[in-house]
A and B are shown apart, each in its own frame.
Chain A
Amino acid sequence: MSEIILEVENLRKYFPIKTGFKQVRYLKAVDNVSFTLARGETLGVIGESGSGKTTLGKTVIRLYKPTGGKILFNGEDIAPLPRKALKKYRKKMQIVYQDPYSSLNPRMRIRDIIGRPMKIHGLASTREEITSRVKQLLEEVGLPSEVMHRFPHELSGGQRQRIAIARALATEPELIVLDEPTSALDVSIQAQILNLLKEIQRKRNTAYIFISHDIAVVSYMSDRIAVMYMGVFVETGPTREVIGEPMHPYTKMLISVVPEPDPTKKIRVTEDLGEPQLPIDPPPICRFHDRCKYKLPVCDEKAPPKIPIGESGRTVACWLYGKGKTVERN
């Protein structure tokens, strides 16, 4: 068993919503999410727009203050720490965003963009030291060292995303959150970046949380997958199992509508699939209840527990699998 780097327990992130009245309501963007992550492992998080993926990623690395729950990073709970105390963890946890256009400071040269985090965290001090490390990092992400002197707008989208990755690597992180890192890129460029990320992981044994709404991309990248719906993990488990044999009705629906690049495998949608609501003070029952075609009476009464399935660490939060019930899969 490889070494656990991250243990997240019942993590919550609620955003207060202003209403006309005095009473405060909460948008529960992340609600009681738990998972673990080992060194060198990738957890993929899939889910539709607004399901809470980005909020989860930002909360885990403490760019957001959690509403509740634990984040054990190398065994230490960083959830309650105040800003100041976080500094020594910052360099260990990095994030790469979707949009390579807006995530890089347009007025800084590439050398400074990559060199800055080294300076802030005291990983390199002299000019020469920084320059030589920047060169190394550029090489690692497959760029010629001349780009050092350029500005972000002088680079293509794929090149900019390589810069964002190099910047994330600059502090030798143990965990990187990759939030839709290739969603803005063309497929051929996406393939380059995905393979680069895999290679970096192999070399550095970095743990990844890989977020995307693109299920094919996530399944290519991840050892395990978590399926997020309206702020909760409805299903988790090894990629092959979750994708190959989805159990939660939401996962089944999601996987059934992923288009394949094969005209002999056409998707057929005959019914209205509905849309998720905003999770604003949702009732304490399954959040998929209004769209679920397998709904049981209990689903309107109580939230489903997280039910372990088999020995592979798989879980599904659905009453269909509760109390020893067995249901035909598919």
Chain B
Amino acid sequence: MMTLLEVAGLSVIYHTDEGTVYALDKIDLAVGKGEIVSVVGESGSGKSTLANTVIKLLPPYAKVTEGRVLFEGKDILSLSEEDMRSIRGNRISMIFQEPNIALNPLFKIKEFMTDVYLAHHPEASREEALSRSLEMLREARVPTPEDVLERYPHELSGGMKQRVLIATSLLNSPDLLIADEPTSALDVSVQAQIISLLKRLQREKNMSVIFITHDLAVAAQIADRIVVMYAGHVLEEGSVDEVFQKPLHPYTEMLMKSVPKIGAEKIESPPGSIPDLRRRIEQCPFMDRCPKAFGKCREKPPLIALGDRKVACWLYNEG
């Protein structure tokens, strides 16, 4: 599979009033053409920071301190904002958890969608933009798309807004779609429909998707490959089947055991909570909560390859 996106050794910090936050620490990630990669992690693990870095939407007080982001081999981080604008919303699209932030309440859906199309197709007419919008709403299986085009955002349900945003993100046939918790605020029935939709679009258009979620069950449903993040680090990566069948990292294992399953009698509740990111982590980030920790863990384990999987844990690394 051809690599579309490659993130290598990426570190990002935020300068805040309360000091420096070490949000990403030497992250590696690769996304192949036509592949769905799910980035899974608990709150604060750095998932959104990763997405925002790839699409260059970090706030000004954030800083990439090291690493590269290569899109089709080109270093995105060194692009000017002007060059990035021709990629963002065009070659790489993004959808967020909260559809209301993306949609402008003052504009009808048709105005919103045609503007997005025209921004990257200045030669096109309004009519062309409108028919393209309609086509994409149909692709996204939005019921009564003609009617939806005439509506304002507040006249649509949350699930419908999210489908409109997916349709919008497809207008310019992106090669990569980054979805940051797109279903976390939605009901399960809507979530299931959106997952099916994204999978179908990925198949039919050979689009690559980075699907960010805190929900392991959702990742299991949608992903070809999953990347497990914790406290700004990638702890494990592998095909979804292998990782769920046999998690390697004790953190992944713990995460899986703490998900309540239908019909389960008991769930494990690991002690402790995630470390404070206001100081740089020098040991294994999971060490303090890890039942298998030993002396060596005071040194940070690198992410190493084990066949076609990767894990950052001394249990698998003779060092």
Instruction: Please indicate whether A and B come from the same complex rather than being unrelated chains.
Output: yes
A interface residue numbers (CB < 8 A to B): 48-49, 156-158, 186-192, 194-195, 213-217, 219-220, 240, 243-244, 253-255, 257-264, 266-270, 272-273, 275
Q: Are A191 and B221 in contact (CB under 8 A)?
A: no
Q: A191-B270, A219-B262 are in contact. Are A257 and B244 (CB under 8 A)?
A: no
Compute how far the CA of A244 lies from the CA of B264 in the bound complex, rounded to whole angstroms: 12
Determine the chain A residues whose CB is within 8 A of the CB of B216 once the complex forms.
187, 261
Are A195 and B267 touching (Cβ within 8 A)? yes
- Across the interface, name the chain A residue whose C-beta is closest to B190: A275
Q: Nearest B residue to A253 by beta-carbon distance?
A: B189
Q: Cβ of B187 and Cβ of A187 under 8 Å apart?
A: no
A268 CB contacts on chain B under 8 angstroms: 196
Instruction: Say whether A275 contacts B159, CB under 8 Å.
Output: yes
User: Residues of B contacting A262 with CB < 8 Å?
Assistant: 217, 220, 244
Q: In the complex, what distance in Å separates the CA atom of A261 from the CA atom of B40? A: 12
* A-B contacts, 7 listed (Cβ < 8 Å): A49-B187, A192-B271, A213-B188, A220-B267, A260-B217, A260-B262, A262-B220
Chain A residues with CB under 8 Å of B158's CB are 49
Min CB gap A75→B, angstroms: 34
* Contact (A259, B191) CB under 8 Å given A187-B255, A189-B273, A264-B241: yes
Q: Which of B141, B188, B240, B270 contacts A188 (CB 8 A)?
A: B270
B192 at the interface (CB under 8 A from A): yes
Q: Which of A186, A270, A272 contacts B43 (CB 8 A)?
A: A186
Closest residue of chain A to B221 (Cβ to Cβ) is A259
Q: Which of A158, A243, A269 neighbours the largest number of chain B CB atoms within 10 Å of its CB?
A: A269
Given A187-B214, A273-B193: A263 in contact with B244 (beta carbons within 8 A): yes
A186 touches B263 (CB 8 A): no
Neighbouring A residues of B159 by C-beta, 8 Å? 275
* Complex CA–CA separation, A194 to B267 (angstroms): 9
Which of chain A's residues has its CB closest to B44's CB?
A186
CB of B192 within 8 A of CB of A243, answer no
7 residue pairs, one from A and one from B, having the closest CB atoms: A191-B258, A257-B192, A191-B269, A259-B217, A186-B42, A220-B260, A48-B187
Cβ-based interface call for B130 (8 A): no
- B262: min CB distance to chain A, Å: 5
A327 to B39, CA, bound (A): 43
A261 contacts which of B217, B241, B270, B273 (Cβ < 8 Å)?
Answer: B217
Which residues of B178-206 are within 8 A (CB) of A? 187-193, 195-196
Known: A188-B42, A188-B254, A266-B221. A259 touches B269 (CB 8 A): no
CB of A112, distance to nearest CB on chain B (Å): 24
- Are A257 and B267 interface neighbours, CB within 8 A? no
Neighbouring B residues of A253 by C-beta, 8 Å: 189
**In the bound complex, do residue B267 and residue A191 qualify as a contact, i.e. CB atoms below 8 Å apart?**
yes
How far, in whole Å, are A49 and B268 apart by their CA atoms in the complex?
A: 28
Closest to B185 in A: A49
- B270: chain A residues at CB < 8 Å are 188, 191-192
Any chain A CB within 8 A of the CB of B80? no
Q: How near does chain B come to A243, taking the closest CB pair, in angstroms?
A: 6
Contact of A269 among B157, B192, B254 (CB under 8 A): B192
- Which residue in chain A gives the minimum CB-CB distance to B142? A272
Give Cα distance in the complex from A273 to B259, angstroms. Answer: 26
- Besides A186-B214, A187-B42, A243-B263, 13 more A-B contacts (Cβ < 8 Å) are A49-B158, A187-B258, A190-B258, A191-B258, A191-B268, A213-B187, A259-B191, A259-B195, A260-B220, A262-B217, A269-B195, A272-B193, A275-B160
Q: Is B95 an interface residue (CB 8 A)?
A: no
Report the Cα distance A267→B42, complex, angstroms: 23
Residue of A nearest to B239 (CB): A263
- Chain B residues near A156: list those with CB within 8 A: 273
In the bound assembly, the distance between CA atoms of A167 and B295 in angstroms comes to: 40
Contacts of A215 in B (CB 8 A): 188, 262
Most A-side CB within 10 Å, residue of B158, B159, B217: B217
Q: Would B260 and A267 count as touching, CB distance under 8 A?
A: no
- Among B158, B241, B255, B262, max chain A CB count under 10 A is at B262
- The contact of A263 among B195, B241, B259, by CB within 8 Å, is B241
Min CB–CB distance A170 → chain B (angstroms):
23
**A175→B263 CA distance, assembly (Å):** 25
From A240, A261, A272, give the contact of B261 (CB < 8 A): A261
- Residues from chain A with a CB closer than 8 A to the CB of B254 are 188
Contacting residues, chain B, for A217 (C-beta < 8 A): 260
State whether A187 touches B259 (Cβ < 8 A).
yes
> Closest approach, in angstroms, between the C-beta of B16 and any C-beta of chain A?
15
